[in-house]
Structure 1
Amino acid sequence: MNKLFLGVIVMILLSIGACNTTKKSAGQSNKEVKTSTVESNAIAYEKLENALLWKISGNGVESPSYLYGTIHIIPSEEYFLPEGTLEAIGKSKKMYFEIDMKEMNDVSKQMGLLNQAFMKDDLTLKDLYTEEEYKKVKDHFEKMGIPLFFMERMKPMLLTVFASGDIDPGDLQSGKAKSYEMEFYEIAKDAKKETGGLETIEYQMSVFDSIPYEEQADMLLETIEMGDASNGSMQKMIEIYKQQDIEGMQDMFKEEESGVEGHEDVLLTNRNKNWIPVISEAMKGGTTFFAVGAGHLGGPQGVIHLLKEAGFTLEAVK
């Protein structure tokens, strides 16, 4: 399999949080996730402090755990860790990601995912576009150095990750960019810490089938047509991230996701809710460090508020 194609898959999996998908927890079926519940009480939402690192305690947890909001890919010169992050990792027995990074680094696992990246029924992008539209998409990716030949059958929403040009599949390999997940995983691996995932890669990839391919194709074309208007969005997000403004990131995601209107439950809300019982169970085994996209933390349906409703106490670590 072409190395570029594999690189695209890896980048998609690291960047998927920006698209927001609903997934199940590792080792659980869809039914198990839907029926797994944590008793919750409706409480008023309070605006969150600017902080990426949060301590989780209370609700019968013997030792505190930690929740960290990542930005999946960031230019190397912008990479930073808030004070207290390495100390929190050091205290933790386990490290959980959205998907287990151990699987992300398994080439055989990556290869097995390729079929799930493809549309069903042998559909191709040509089937979803007019001749003129298809040429526009083809020319756009070829200018980026990504031949569309390798991605003709890929689900359009996955390709949207790259359409703005903010993410280059080779940046991680060249050292121009870093992944917080990869950096944290290396720390965990060196310290021989157990790792886990809040959801599986397979479900993450397959969930895109819940959005009609025609709508996905429209999103992809719209992103391409926006051109330079969208080029500053990544830098804007990085600036908000450096301020540790998770409320601001939540607001930005809402603005950016106007194209998926009507799919919010599938793409975000249900996903966050599914994580709560998994997080709760993981903390029973001792102090755990959870690293998830910062866009999942804020808002009334964000992980922080949902954990509070489940009875946990969350405090910003400054």
Structure 2
Amino acid sequence: MNIRIIFLLSAFAAFLLPFAYGENNPAPAAAQVTAAPRRGALYRVRHQGHTAYLFGTIHVGLPAFYPLDDQVTQALSHATNLVLELDVRQSEPFQAALRKHGRYAEGDSLERHLSPDGLAHLRRTLQQLGMPFEQVTTLKPWLVTNLLMGLDLERQGYQRQHGIEFFLLAQARTKEVQELESAEYQMSLFDGMSDADQEQYLRENLADWEEGELQRKAHALIDAWASADSDAQEQLLRASLAEKTLSADFTHRVLLDKRNPEMADKIGALLKTDETSFVAIGLLHLLGENGVPALLRRSGYEVEKLY
């Protein structure tokens, strides 16, 4: 299975839609008085009297996803701080990182970095989406790719303002908010790809979009998250490991296998200093034998899966 649509639902993707449309940060999603089924995945990690709750998120959503279930709500209420991959309210660091890692320098442009076939493929897709080529001509291929995937999710009804981070921030207004990463760091990971790899990343995703695979896979992950179906979540991850594409390799090697140990180390540090933390990170970071909970367990922390 191709995993790249799944990783569009990462923390920095929350910024891409307003980047495309020139919007300000929207208001957080408001809780509704409805039943609250379990969503995502929830772990409790303990160490020497300190606790960290790990909650798996997606970063776009629907109003129907709220409120979150009682276990999540109570864990957040007991926490002294909320920890996110990125604080999605802070747009300036993100815009600075985009200028550095996602845009070409003045006088340079996308046309100089794509092959004629790659450029023609992109122009066809943009025409189908009703987006002028001039809107992306200064952007690097990796950013164009993620932007187009974000726009496609928006058109399917999954919106940034209903992403989990905004809801959690609205529920934790009086708590300290910390970041596990920075926009600079996340952007630099994508910018580390060569021109050839960025073009391949673009073309693989455009092909999947044309075949309807991006939409199908997005729905599969969102459904697995929305129903807290741990078997389906793990199956999605296992299937993705079998795929042999540049995009899938980059996702696993860089976006997961590199970042998961870094996140686990930072969560371990929190467990030594903070009494109770609520840590919300992308769902895929919690899955598999190299997921953050498994890494913490192997490091000697007490890890309990609540659901």
TM-score by length of 1: 0.73
1:311 maps to which of 288, 293, 300: 300
**Distance in 2 separating the partners of 1:184 and 1:252:** 30
User: Which deviations, in whole Å up to 9, do the C-alpha atoms of 1:117-172 show, x marking residues without a partner?
Assistant: 22469653212333343133123224324333232232322222244553238967
Give, in angstroms, the shift of residue 187 of structure 1. Answer: 1.4
TM alignment of 1:183-202, pairs within 5 A: 183-189=167-173, 192-202=174-184
Distance 1:258 1:215, change over 3 A: same
Contact 1:93–1:288 (Cα < 8 Å) also in 2: yes
Partner of 1:136: 121
Give, in angstroms, the shift of residue 176 of structure 1. Answer: 8.2
1:228 maps to which of 208, 211, 227: 211
Distance 1:223 1:108, change over 3 A: closer
Task: Give the 3-state SS of the residue equivalent to 2:280 in structure 1.
Answer: strand
**Distance in 2 separating the partners of 1:243 and 1:278:** 29
Partner of 1:29: none
**Distance in 2 separating the partners of 1:11 and 1:277:** 19
2:252 maps to 1:273: no
TM alignment of 1:99-114, pairs within 5 A: 99=86, 101=87, 104-114=88-98
Partner of 1:36: none
Task: Give the 3-state SS of the residue equivalent to 2:225 in structure 1.
Answer: helix
2:221 maps to 1:237: yes
Q: Which runs of 5+ in 1 are unaligned?
A: 1-9, 17-49
User: Which deviations, in whole Å up to 9, do the C-alpha atoms of 1:285-315 show, x marking residues without a partner?
Assistant: 2200000001111112110100101111111
2:44 maps to 1:55: yes
**Distance in 1 separating the partners of 2:224 and 2:10:** 22
**Distance in 2 separating the partners of 1:82 and 1:224:** 36
User: Which deviations, in whole Å up to 9, do the C-alpha atoms of 1:177-227 show, x marking residues without a partner?
Assistant: 6101111112122xx100111111111111222221211111212221231
Contact 1:15–1:72 (Cα < 8 Å) also in 2: yes
Tell me which amino acid in the other structure corresponds to 2:266.
V
Partner of 2:30: none
Task: Give the 3-state SS of the residue equivalent to 1:166 in structure 2.
Answer: helix
2:271 maps to 1:287: no
TM-score by length of 2: 0.76
**Distance in 2 separating the partners of 1:11 and 1:309:** 25
User: Which deviations, in whole Å up to 9, do the C-alpha atoms of 1:100-123 show, x marking residues without a partner?
Assistant: x1xx32343343233122246965
Q: Which runs of 5+ in 2 are unaligned?
A: 1-8, 16-38
Task: Give the 3-state SS of the residue equivalent to 1:87 in structure 2.
Answer: helix
User: Which deviations, in whole Å up to 9, do the C-alpha atoms of 1:268-297 show, x marking residues without a partner?
Assistant: 212111112211122222200000001111
Distance 1:158 1:255, change over 3 A: farther
Tell me which amino acid in the other structure corresponds to 1:68.
F
1:127 maps to which of 112, 123, 139: 112
Task: Give the 3-state SS of the residue equivalent to 1:56 in structure 2.
Answer: strand
Partner of 1:216: 198
Task: Give the 3-state SS of the residue equivalent to 2:53 in structure 1.
Answer: strand
2:137 maps to 1:156: no
1:98 maps to which of 85, 89, 93: 85
Partner of 2:27: none
Work out the number of aligned pairs and report it: 268
Tell me which amino acid in the other structure corresponds to 2:180.
L
Contact 2:55–2:279 (Cα < 8 Å) also in 1: yes
What CA RMSD, in Å, does the superposition of the two structures yield over aligned residues?
3.1
2:287 maps to 1:302: no
Regions of 4+ moved over 4 Å: 119-123, 169-172
2:59 maps to 1:72: yes
- Between the two proteins, what is the percent identity of the paired residues? 22
Distance 1:171 1:120, change over 3 A: farther
User: Which deviations, in whole Å up to 9, do the C-alpha atoms of 1:235-263 show, x marking residues without a partner?
Assistant: 11112222322423423553678333554
Contact 1:249–1:294 (Cα < 8 Å) also in 2: no
